[in-house]
Structure 1
Amino acid sequence: MGNKSIHFRSRAFISCITLALVASLQIVAFIAQFLSHQSSLHQAVDNVQKRIGLDSAFLDVGNKTLNTPVNQFAISQYLGRLNDTLKQEGYPVLVERIQGVTLDSEDFRSYPNVITVNFVNAEQEINVNLRSKSASSFLTFNWSGFIISLFIAPLFFVSNRTRKRRDAIEEIAPASPKLVINLKDKTISNGIDEKAVTLQNKPLCFYTALVRYCIDNPLEPLPPHKDVPQELITLANKCFGRLIELGHTKRKRPDFNANLDKTLSEIRAALDEVFSAYNVEKEAYYPPRAQGEGSRSKQHSYALPPIKEEDIEIIGN
């Protein structure tokens, strides 16, 4: 149990890392909000400038060339209408002055920043003063960043001692043996050591087929007093054909129904030798022996215990 214990960092470290994460994500959020405000402000100023430029053709803004004065009343009325529209559409700016005419009735306290814009329209220079909201008015506490930081923070709570111990356990843990059937050299082994036992063609093919059959048909009984199922015979013949392809034999296919006891005995003997140091693991691949009176007992089955594809390895199949 001691190997599985988890070591947490100190409370001071946990508090500091949590605060640091919260602060970091809030700073990122503030930067994003500030950049968004600047982009919106720039777009708003451009739109207002274009609007005034288009409307100036109908406004009496005066003309220095013609020596005509500015119509202050008309400009003041225009400023009122324009600012009402800007407020309704949520613009971060208002227009304070056009050609020196100021809208005294407007409260600009929420718009502390002054932006001066000068542009020429129809050979007439127009001076405009805009007022914008401060960037701080758009900076708000980001709850999403706060929640994310609370989810991330626990990843830093576990001490390196836990990780190192876990890595050490994984390195020390021995590999588990499993059945390896090598059709290329007609052997079976356990995948751990170099111990391998050579089998004759018939028991090798029958055992390979038996393993395949039991994977595909778990818990299917195989009583020795009955004929070998046709599906199992087909798998064994297929394996024998593979041995022919590999150049191991040119003989006629054996009768896998004949001398079943002898075939199973040879298989068990090979497994006993291969898994001599792994008796527990051997049981997963071992055709059960008959219990009671003789191997032909009707209650007996030589089917393997339930195994999976990942429990075996067949080379040269």
Structure 2
Amino acid sequence: MIKPKFKSPACITLNWALLFLCLQTIALIGQYFSFKADIHEAQDKVERRISLDSAFLDVGNETLNTPVNQHAIYSYLDRLNSELIKEGYPILVSHIQEISIQSQDFTQYPNVTSTLLINAEQRIVVEMRSKSSWSGVGFSFIALLCSLLLLPVFSIATKKRKKVSAVEEESLPPTPKLIINLKDKTLSNGVDDKVVALQNKPLCFYTALVKFCIEYPNQPLPPHKDVPHELMILANKSFGRLIELGHTKRKRPDFNANLDKTLSEIRAALDEVFAGFTEEKEIYYPPRAQGEGSRSKQHSYALPSIKDDDIEIIGS
């Protein structure tokens, strides 16, 4: 049985500190929003309590032009706040109808909220003081306990497994990839140093062919028909790029003319570039006609399997 290998004490301590910090942060965020919700709920309950008590509370009446009974308000505020403190509510009531209670200490209740209660005969202005939402935030013993319980999972060393994976990755053979270099007018496979030069016409046509087949993967290209307009535009753009790079000053060639020769030159270059990579070459290789010659109506020189990740074009 293979015994697990543990990390060094310093590494384990660091892992625990980071784990505890993460869990404590989550706990603090939860405490903050939970206490904020408790404050809103407490305010709603106190508003309902005052609204119910208002029928028996002499807060004055504007319609009947009766004054506020200050003594009754003082007595009510004192009883109400005493009950709120006893029940552990995070709020107190500081004013009712502009009558405040002077004997109450509101230093721990910095936030002020005013509300207006309206019934059939009265309009009651109430001012409440609430604790800060951050006052409900503190050290979380649950975060400490969870970090200690999870610590063994992060204490086992995994370096050996990573090294094995790295060795396995290094042992995998590299995958060749078509690289078209317009600056050097060459084709290469990205694996070895083999580089094959191409003439202007086959290089431009093949660059356009690759781009066309990626954009139109299901479009057949029979050699007995003219080159599609979209493919001609791409080929002319590639030739224009060669002019910009200073490789030629000649006029653009007719890419419809001598198509068989152009494709033959492309295949010959690919045979050389992908020598030793027969399977990988297939996605880049314009298919040859089978049985009926290069002008067979069933034949297509398109590259149906090629994808954007299979190529790299330098200097386009």
After TM superposition, is the score higher than 0.5?
yes
Give 5+ residue unaligned stretches, structure 1: 1-6, 37-78, 92-137
Which whole-Å deviations, capped at 9, do the CAs of 1:9-55 have from their partners, x for residues lacking one? 64999xxx8xx969x749x86xx89xx9xxxxxxxxxxxxxxxxxxx
- Conservation of the 8 A alpha-carbon contact between 2:16 and 2:147: no
Retained in 2: the 8 A contact 1:8–1:158?
no
2:193 is aligned to: 194
Match of 1:89 in 2: 88
Cα pair distance change 1:82/1:282, threshold 3 Å: closer
Alignment of structure 1 residues 1-317 onto 2, 5 Å: 10=4, 25=20, 85-90=84-89, 142=142, 154=153, 159-317=158-316
For the pair shown, the structure with the greater C-alpha radius of gyration is 1
**1:246-283 C-alpha deviation (Å, 9 max, x unpaired):** 11111121111111111100000000001102111111
Match of 2:65 in 1: none
- The question of whether the paired residues in 1 share the 8 Å contact of 2:220 and 2:301 is answered with yes
State the 1:307 CA deviation.
Answer: 1.8
Could you tell me how far apart the structure 1 residues matched to 2:149 and 2:217 are? 48
The verdict on how the C-alpha distance between 1:299 and 1:10 changes in structure 2, with shifts beyond 3 A counting, is same
Give the SS at the match of 2:260. helix
Q: In structure 2, give the amino acid aligned to 1:164.
A: K
Residue 168 (structure 1) shift = 1.7
One-letter amino acid of the counterpart of residue 195, structure 2: A
* Cα pair 1:9 1:158 within 8 Å, conserved: no
Q: Structure 1 167/220 Cα, relative in aligned 2: closer, same or farther at 3 Å?
A: same
How many aligned positions are there? 214
CA gap of 1:161–1:183, structure 2 versus 1, over 3 A, is same
Distance 2:226 2:149 in 1: 66
Deviation at 1:213, TM superposition (A): 0.3
Q: What is the distance in 1 between the residues matched to 2:236 and 2:272? A: 26
Aligned residue identity for 1:208: T
Aligned AA (2:300): S
SS across alignment from 2:168:
helix
Residues 297 and 12 (structure 1), Cα distance of their counterparts in 2 relative to 1, 3 Å cut: same
SS at match of 1:188: strand
Change (3 A) 1:160 1:266: same
CA RMSD of aligned residues (A): 3.9
Any idea what SS the aligned residue of 2:261 has?
A: helix
Compared CA separation, residues 83 and 307, structure 1 to 2 (3 A): same
CA contact (8 A) 1:202 1:256 kept: yes
Q: Distance in 2 between matches of 1:12 and 1:199?
A: 59
Partner secondary structure for residue 205 of structure 1: helix
Q: Percent identity?
A: 59
- 1:315–1:25 Cα change, 3 Å: closer
How far residue 306 of structure 1 moved from its aligned partner, in angstroms, is 2.1
